[in-house]
Structure 1
Amino acid sequence: MRPESDSHGRELYECFECGARMESGGTCDCGGELRHLGRSRDL
Structure 2
Amino acid sequence: LEEKLSTMESEDQILRQQSLLNSPVKRMSEHLAIPAAPK
How does the TM-score come out when normalised to structure 2?
A: 0.21
Decide which structure has greater strand share.
1
Decide which structure has greater helix share.
2
How does the TM-score come out when normalised to structure 1?
A: 0.21
